[in-house]
Structure 1
Amino acid sequence: MVSSKDRARKLAREKLDRQLARRAARERRRRQIQAGVGAAVALILIVGGIAWLGGAFDGDDKTTDAAGDTDVCAWTTQNAESNTSLKDVGEPPTSGIPTEGTRPMTITTDKGAPIVVSLDLTNAPCSAADLSYLAGKQFYDNTTCHEITTEGAIRCGDPSGTGQGGPTYSVYNENLPAAPEPTPSASAAPSKKPAAPVYPKGTVALIGDPPGTNGSQFLIFFKDFTPKGAPQYPIVGKVTGGMETVAAIGKIATVANDAGDKVKPKEKITVRSITVGEPGTAPVATPSAAAPSASSQS
C-alpha cells in the first residue's frame, strides 16, 4: 500500500512538473513574441528607414519590458497535513526578484566566526530569494545543523532537526551541476590534470526530499565532492568567509541517527541566526563575543 507520505511526494513532484512545463511554455511564448517584434521592427526599418534614422521613432524605446511584468519564480505549496514538520511562514514574492550579481548571506553559529556566503543571483535567483525570505522571517534562528554527511557537507536549515522539516512551499532545482564526464577506458591516455569536483569545497547547495522540492535545508561542503551518479543538489552560492569554521564543524565526530546512518553530530551545532544583505553589498559579519572558538570544542 502506498503511504500518505509517498502520495504527498508524488503529488508534489507532479505539481512541480506542471509548473516547470508552464515556465517552459511562457519562455517559448516570450521567444515567439520577441521574434515577432524583431520581424516587425525590420519591416518598419525597411519602409521608414529615413524617418527612423532621423529619430522620429525614438519614443518606441520607452516600451515596458515584458520580463518585468512576469513572475520570475514559482513556489509549490507543500501539504502540511501529511508532514507536520513543515512550518507555515507564507511564501516569497514571485516577481521583483534580483536576477543579476551576488548577495551576501551571513550564518552565525556557536562554533566560531560567522560563515559568509555569496549567493548567486544570476544562476540561482529563486533559490537565493528562498533563503533570503526565510532569513527575513527568522526561520533559521536557534535551529541546528542536524547532519554531517558522508559526502563531506554540513546539513542545516531544518527547524525540526529530522531532515523532513522546512516551509510549506518548495522551489524547483536551479543551477544543478552537469553530470561528471564518464571515466575513460583503460586504453585511453590518462589526463595529467584531475577533473574539477562537481561540488568544490565551500559550495553551498540546497537539498530537498524528494530531490527538486527544495525548501529551507542547505548543504555547506567542507571538502570536494563528486557524485557517482547524476548531481542532485542545486548550487546557490559559495563560502567567501569563515571557511575555518566550516572545516572545524566538519571534524566533529558523528553517531548514528534514528535511521541508523552515522551522520548525526556528536555535539550540538546551533545556528543562532542567518541574515541576508542587499544585492551587491559587502557583508558585515562580527563574531559574537559569546561564541566559543571551534578549537575549544572537545
Structure 2
Amino acid sequence: MATNQQRREAAKRKLERQLTRRAERARRRRIVGVGVTIGAVVVAAGLVVILATRGDDTAAEGDAADASGTPDASANNTPASIPTERVAAPERPEPLPDPATCEYPESGQPAKEVSPPSGESVPAGGTVDVTLESTVGEIPLTLDRALAPCTVNSFVHLAEQGFYTDTSCHRLSTDGLQMLQCGDPKGDGTGGPGYSFADETFEGLNYGRGILAMANSGPDTNGSQFFMVYGEAPLPPNYTVFGTIGDEGLTVLDEVARAGHDGSSQAGGGTPHTEVRFTDVRVAAA
C-alpha cells in the first residue's frame, strides 16, 4: 500500500504532466495564431497590389489590356467590333397615301417651348436632307417621307424651330444594340416636345448600320428622341425608321462609340465619354 508521501509525489507528477500538456497546447495555439496573422498580412498586401493596379488601369482611360496585349473592350464599355457594311435602306411593301394626314396630340410638358406641327396635307414622297452640326463633326441625314411622312414632318418642324440645337446625345450603346440616342433637351432620356404621334412601322422592318429611327417608350409614343444605328441592331420592328445616315456621319459615330460610355443607363449603355452636342441643325431647302 502506498504511503502518504508516495501519494503526494504521484499527485505532484500528475500535476506537472498536466501543466506541461497545457503549456504545449498554448504554445501550439500561439504558433497557429502567428501563422494566420502572417497569412492575413500577405493576403491584404496582395489585395493592395491588385487594387492599385486596377486603379492605374482606370486612370489610363481605355489603355487596359489582357496578358496578350489585346485591349480590353469592356474596360470603358467600348464595342468589341463595329461592322463596316451598311444594311439596305428599307422600303414599304405598299406606298402610303400622298399626301398623308397626321395627328400630334398633346403629351406631357415640352422640354423646350415648341408648338406641334400641322398634320394637314403632309407629303408622303421624296426626301429631305438634314445636317446635324455637332461638337464632334457633321452628321448628314437623309429623311425619307415615303417611309414615315408624319415622323419626317415632325423632325423637320422641330429642327426648324431650334428644338434640337444645343442638345446633347444622352445614351450610347455598344454591346448588342449599337446606337447613339439623341433628341432630348433635358439630356436624361425623359424629355420630349409636349406632343406624340403614332408609329409608322411595317412588317419586315430591319435595323442596322446606317439606319435612323425613332426612340419610344411603347406603341405610338413617338416624340423628339431618335437613335442613329452605327452597327448591330437586333430589334423587333417596333421603331419607326425615317431615314439614313451619311458616310461622314457614320465615321463620326464610330469614333464616339470607340471612346465608350459610362454604363449609367438602366436601359443599357450610358452617357458617351465623348460629348455629342448639336450646335446647329440645318434643313436643306426643298
TMscore range, shorter length = 0.5 to 0.7
| TM-score where L is the length of structure 1 | 0.58
CA-atom RMSD, angstroms? Answer: 2.2
Show CA shifts across 1:57-115 (max 9, x none). xxxxxxxxx976xx6111121032xxxx6334111011132211111011111112x11
Aligned to 1:274: 281
Match of 1:225 among 229, 233, 249: 233
Residue pairs, 1:31-46, within 5 angstroms: none
Contact 2:210 2:229 survives alignment (8 Å): yes
1:77 matched residue in structure 2:
106
8 Å CA contact 2:265, 2:271 repeated in 1: no
Tell me if structure 1 keeps the 8 A contact 2:135–2:276. yes
Identity of aligned residues (%): 26
Partner of 2:244: 238
Task: Give the corresponding residue for 1:175.
Answer: 201
Gap regions ≥5 residues in structure 2: 1-96
**5 Å matches for 1:129-278?**
129-149=153-173, 150=175, 151-176=177-202, 178=204, 198-227=206-235, 230-242=236-248, 243-257=250-264, 259=266, 261-278=268-285
**3-state SS of 1:93 partner:** coil
CA displacement, residues 109-155 of structure 1 (integer Å, 9 cap, x when unaligned)? 1112x111110111211100111000011001110011112410010
* 2:233 alignment partner AA: F
Judged with a 3 Å threshold, the aligned counterparts in structure 2 of structure 1 residues 236 and 107 are, in CA distance, closer, same or farther, namely same
SS in 1 for 2:246: strand
| 1:92 partner letter | P
1:226 and 1:258 mapped to 2: Cα distance?
A: 19
Q: Give the Cα separation in 1 of the matches to 2:183 and 2:115.
A: 17
Distance 1:97 1:241, change over 3 A: farther
Distance 1:214 1:240, change over 3 A: same
TM-score under structure 2 normalisation?
0.60
Q: Identify the match of residue 86 of structure 1 among 76, 94, 111.
A: 111
Alignment partners' CA distance in 2, 1:246 and 1:237? 16
Aligned residue pairs total 187
**Greater relative contact order, per chain length (Cα 8 Å cut-off, separation 6+):** 1
Partner Cα separation in structure 2 for residue 87 and residue 96 of structure 1: 26
CA 1:210–1:272 in structure 2 vs 1: closer, same or farther (change >3 Å)? same
Look at both structures and tell me which one has the larger radius of gyration over its CA atoms: 2
SS in 2 for 1:131: helix
Q: 1:5-58, CA deviations, whole angstroms, 9 ceiling, x for partnerless residues?
A: xxxxxxxxxxxxxxxxxxxxxxxxxxxxxxxxxxxxxxxxxxxxxxxxxxxxxx
How far apart are residue 275 of structure 1 and its match? 1.8
Provide the residue aligned with 2:120 in structure 1.
95
| SS of structure 1 residue aligned to 2:271 | strand
Q: 1:98 to 1:200 in 2, by over 3 A?
A: same
Take 1:256 and 1:169, find their aligned partners in 2: how far apart are those partners?
29
| In structure 2, distance between residues paired with 1:259 and 1:239 | 26
After superposition, give the CA deviation of every residue in 1:233-273 in whole Å (9 maximum; x if it has no partner).
11010012412112212222111326484422123221112
Whole-Å Cα distance in 2 between the matches of residues 249 and 67 of structure 1?
38
Where 2:259 maps in the other structure, the secondary structure is coil
Q: In the alignment, which of 117, 125, 128 is matched to residue 141 of structure 2? A: 117
Q: Which has the higher strand share?
A: 1
- Counterparts in 2 of 1:176 and 1:251: CA distance versus 1, 3 Å: farther
SS at match of 1:220: strand
Summarize deviations over 1:149-179 as a string: whole Å, max 9, x none.
2410010110001111010101111134536
